[in-house]
Amino acid sequence: MQENRESTKVGLIGCGAIAKLIAEAVERKLVICDELVFYDQDTKKAETLKSALRFPATVVSGIEEMLTLKPKVIVEAASQQAAREYAEQIATEGIDLIVMSTGALLDLNLQSSKIHVPAGAIGGLDALSSAALAGIDEVVFTSRKNPRAFEMHNKEAKVVYEGTAEEAARLYPRKMNVAATLALTVKPAKVLVQVVSDPGVQRNTHEFRVKWQFGEMFLRFANDPHPENPRTSALAAWSAIKLLQTLLLNST
């Protein structure tokens, strides 16, 4: 019954662009919980997010304090370093963790049903993971951004990076988590990453081509950048919101 229900808390590690959209979705009751718990290494960011909300929220000074409040789900929306540092501890506590900085998971080798990877700034991972079971021959991931994003002025499309997803996620920990998500999904197949400075695109455009045992796929996402962090696509935050909604519904 409602009165006996345990209070449902959601923890957010990192209080930047993604966290703000998640908190607003909670406030708008798209995600049902009773309280938000914020941690950011920059406490001012956590305090600012709390004061912008008309929803119960607590700011904590570290992960230990967050864990004592027993959130049902925690969302890491901070950095690969944060995911590396906290993922195992959170999963060991039996708390569901949504990881946005997926590049960290490439070298952690964590096997836990408590760790969840949202599709982030792309989609179609269901089809990709199905194909991965049968056998994938080739995955090429191309990320196109307007030259502005690279502080470049090229008039023709220009490849600015080409390499593996693992290397891309390591070299660009704040930009290439999408490539890491793909790499985690198609394992053991490898993902070839191309980053293109392209005057022909205004949006952050991610596309991937897959050749697998029984066919081919081509998916393309043209994402509006998050107004407060142009590196982040709003779709990434919405994918976390959707996953959070599902996890909370499943846990009631």
Ligand X SMILES: NC(=O)c1ccc[n+]([C@@H]2O[C@H](COP(=O)([O-])OP(=O)(O)OC[C@H]3O[C@@H](n4cnc5c(N)ncnc54)[C@H](O)[C@@H]3O)[C@@H](O)[C@H]2O)c1
Q: Which runs of E-coded beta strand occur in the chain?
A: 9-13, 35-39, 57-59, 73-76, 96-99, 115-116, 136-145, 158-164, 191-197, 204-212, 215-223, 225-226, 229-233
Residue whose CB is less far from ligand X, 163 or 173: 173
Residues of span 148-207 touching ligand X by CB under 6 A: 174, 177-178, 181
Interface with ligand X: number of residues (CB under 6 A): 29
| In the complex, least distance from residue 1 CB atom to ligand X, rounded to whole angstroms | 37
Residue whose CB is less far from ligand X, 143 or 197: 143
Taking CB under 6 A as the binding criterion, the range among 36-44, 106-114, 145-153, 163-171 that sits at the site for ligand X is 36-44
Contact present, 97 and 104 (Cβ < 8 Å):
no
Residue whose CB is less far from ligand X, 132 or 169: 169
14 sits near ligand X (criterion: CB under 6 A): yes
Q: Is 34 helix (H, G, I), strand (E, B) or coil?
A: coil
Give the CA distances from residue 33 to residues 25, 40, 100, 115, 117, in Å, rounded to whole numbers and listed in that order: 11, 20, 20, 20, 20
143 sits near ligand X (criterion: CB under 6 A): no
Residue 190: CB atoms within 10 A of its CB come to: 14
Give residues with Cβ within 8 angstroms of 49, minimum separation 6: 15, 19, 20, 23, 38, 40, 57
Residue selected from 82, 125, 193, 210 as contacting ligand X according to rule CB under 6 A: 82
101 sits near ligand X (criterion: CB under 6 A): yes
| In the complex, least distance from residue 98 CB atom to ligand X, rounded to whole angstroms | 10
Residue whose CB is less far from ligand X, 103 or 147: 103
Catalytic positions, please?
206
Please give the structure tokens belonging to residue 212.
């697998």
| Contacts with ligand X, residue ranges (CB under 6 A) | 13-19, 39-42, 45, 77-79, 81-82, 100-102, 120-121, 174, 177-178, 181, 229, 232, 236
